[in-house]
Chains A and B, each alone.
Chain A
Amino acid sequence: MKHVVVHEEWCLGCHLCEYNCAYANSGIKGMAKALKGKRVFPRIRVEDGNGDGKNNITFAVSCRHCHDPICAKSCISGALTVRDGAVTIDRSRCVGCYTCILVCPYGAIYTDGEGAVIKCELCLSNQAGSPACVAGCPNRALTLEETD
């Protein structure tokens, strides 16, 4: 199973991964049409300290698809399950209890603005087909690699 690997020393903090993620999951053709003027809810988020100037570290956080995902074990609705090594979400089951947000140790599950949650599903079932964050990363700070 290939996963998104984060090389934090290469991250420019450009946030392109967030836009590529939101577009890939929008179900709309044409990036401008999908994103312009809309509040986006990407499943990957760049931590840059909002320019606090404390350090230069930036990196993007998305679901790590843990081997033993506590989010899936804690889900009260059965929305979060592991399929072929990827933690996936069935949004039709999610009731927005936020137990997963309470337990994810990396803060990698986000609210979707409509009462449910969203998370990285490695673009396995959207219009991108493979991780759009990786494909669009200009400095190879995100790569797709086989992990064990």
Chain B
Amino acid sequence: MKTYVIIGGGVAAVGCAEGIRSVDTSSRVIIIAGERRPAYYRPMISYYLEGKTDFEKMEYRPAGFYEENKIELICDAAVSLDSASHTVTLSGGDTIRYDAVCVATGSRPFVPPMEGLDGVTCKTGFLTEEDACALEKAVTCDSRVFIVGAGLIGLKCAEGLCGRVGSITVCDLAPRVLSSILDDTAAGIMQKKLEEHGIRFLLGDTVSRFDRDTAHMKSGVDIGFDVLVLAVGVRANVSLVADAGGLVGRGIVVDERMRTTLDSVFAAGDCAEAADISSGSRRVMAIMPNAVLGGRCAGINMAGGSASFDNAVPMNAIGFFGLHALTAGSYDGEMYEERGDGTLRRLYVKDGMLSGFMLIGSVERAGIYTSLIRNQIPLETVDFEELRRLPSMRGFSPEYRREHMEGWK
């Protein structure tokens, strides 16, 4: 009987365990959950603050899932990995021998050095259940909340808190919100929506120092606050593999079978760096679909099956107060743009294929565009004139529909 170890307890880990079980129903499967709980739908924490869900609903799998699938859940953190002896060492000193291991350690908040940060009375990140609970405890209806970082995490936090605190101010060094996925025009539309709900922004500005509960900004502005949220960014947890001699970049480097450069060591989820087919380069694509699909692929291969996950692309669905931005791929090549009242549609075409898109406001059927990117469909085989106005299946050939759409004649 073999032993498969999965380090990390999030959705990539569960995907991996399910992948293993689809091939091998009897060997040992061990999940080492650093967060010391079963997997949950982590992107839901901002909706928890809004009161739209609770932690019971957020459980990723029903009660009994781990027992039924004979998955051993160890609530502990792994501190080292030895690929020569095939062992993982836990924080208490115990070691576990594995036949194959998957590193699904996720990411952690990146906190740049900021003068006076230690002296801030009340501060938190916004990545985990624990963070959401700490934040909920810390705020009152009068709290002045100061969020450092206007990315996906910082802004979802702002939306979640909106209406239950006194004021929300968000700062970012970038000159626009959501700078990793939107350009100035698109970001401006989203920012306006957030401002309509009372969220204030200090963009292109950064904290020069904290003086207890006041942030002195580079611009000279002083911001007094009761609660500080640090949402500057995240870093992939790569150290287990890096220390063991495996290749890492911004994330743990994996191939299309989710193998690292170390023997019998796989990686998946937010800690991994894989090929992005929309750009041809390697990237960390820290989104839930990629974690689930990559995890499952790793699991199947660990257990001796054969799977590949070779069409990952960066993509994001994010919305605030009913205004949605759906993006995917790379913004590279020739651009097609259409603007409407509060809507924006941008498509990017390179080498005869769709390389990326950005849709704001009007987002219906965006997945048709995503599939053009993920499946690398040559645009000469579709009616791109029609597709670029509105996504449709009419823009594809009857043969394509018959071949790809289940139940199509």
Determine if A106 and B405 form an interchain contact, defined as CB atoms under 8 angstroms apart: yes
Which residues from 307 to 326 on chain B have a C-beta closer than 8 Å to any C-beta of chain A?
315-319, 322, 324, 326
A residues less than 8 Å from B324 (CB atoms): 98
Determine if A76 and B365 form an interchain contact, defined as CB atoms under 8 angstroms apart: no
How distant is the Cα of A106 from the Cα of B403 in the complex, in angstroms? 13
Determine if A95 and B368 form an interchain contact, defined as CB atoms under 8 angstroms apart: no
Number of interface residues of B (CB under 8 A): 47
Instruction: Return A99 CB to nearest CB of chain B, in Å.
Output: 4
Q: Is the interface of B mostly helix, strand, loop or mixed?
A: mixed
How distant is the Cα of A3 from the Cα of B374 in the complex, in angstroms? 26
Chain A 56-81 interface mask (CB, 8 Å, partner B; 1/0): 01010100111100100110111000
A101 with B317: in contact, given A107-B367, A111-B364 (CB under 8 Å)? yes
Determine if B370 and A103 form an interchain contact, defined as CB atoms under 8 angstroms apart: yes
Interface size class of A (residues with CB under 8 A): 35 or more
Chain B 281-306 interface mask (CB, 8 Å, partner A; 1/0): 00000001100110000000000000
Q: Does A33 contact B (CB under 8 A)?
A: no
Chain A 78-111 interface mask (CB, 8 Å, partner B; 1/0): 1000000000000001011111111111110111
Determine if B288 and A8 form an interchain contact, defined as CB atoms under 8 angstroms apart: no
A57 with B288: in contact, given A93-B57, A95-B52 (CB under 8 Å)? no
Interface centre among A55, A93, A101 (most CB of B within 10 A): A101
**Other-chain residue from A52, A107, A110 in contact with B393 (beta carbon distance below 8 A):** A107
Instruction: Return B83 CB to nearest CB of chain A, in Å.
Output: 29
Q: Does A40 contact B (CB under 8 A)?
A: no
How distant is the Cα of A145 from the Cα of B409 in the complex, in angstroms? 12
B residues less than 8 Å from A97 (CB atoms): 43, 317-319
Q: Does A27 contact B (CB under 8 A)?
A: no
Q: Does A24 contact B (CB under 8 A)?
A: no
A residues less than 8 Å from B404 (CB atoms): 105
Determine if A101 and B288 form an interchain contact, defined as CB atoms under 8 angstroms apart: no
Chain B 189-211 interface mask (CB, 8 Å, partner A; 1/0): 00000000000000000000000
Interface centre among A55, A70, A76, A100 (most CB of B within 10 A): A76
A residues less than 8 Å from B23 (CB atoms): none
Nearest B residue to A144 via CB reads B407
A49 with B386: in contact, given A5-B409, A102-B366 (CB under 8 Å)? yes
Q: Does B328 contact A (CB under 8 A)?
A: yes
Chain B 253-284 interface mask (CB, 8 Å, partner A; 1/0): 00000000000000000000000000000000
B residues less than 8 Å from A96 (CB atoms): 319
Determine if B409 and A103 form an interchain contact, defined as CB atoms under 8 angstroms apart: no
Q: Does B354 contact A (CB under 8 A)?
A: no
Determine if B289 and A98 form an interchain contact, defined as CB atoms under 8 angstroms apart: no
Determine if B409 and A99 form an interchain contact, defined as CB atoms under 8 angstroms apart: no
How distant is the Cα of A104 from the Cα of B409 in the complex, in angstroms? 20
How distant is the Cα of A101 from the Cα of B391 in the complex, in angstroms? 12
How distant is the Cα of A64 from the Cα of B59 in the complex, in angstroms? 27
How distant is the Cα of A65 from the Cα of B406 in the complex, in angstroms? 8
20 contacting pairs across A/B (C-beta < 8 A):
A6-B408, A59-B393, A67-B406, A73-B292, A76-B288, A78-B58, A95-B44, A96-B319, A98-B319, A98-B363, A99-B289, A101-B366, A102-B317, A103-B370, A105-B367, A107-B365, A107-B366, A110-B364, A111-B364, A147-B406
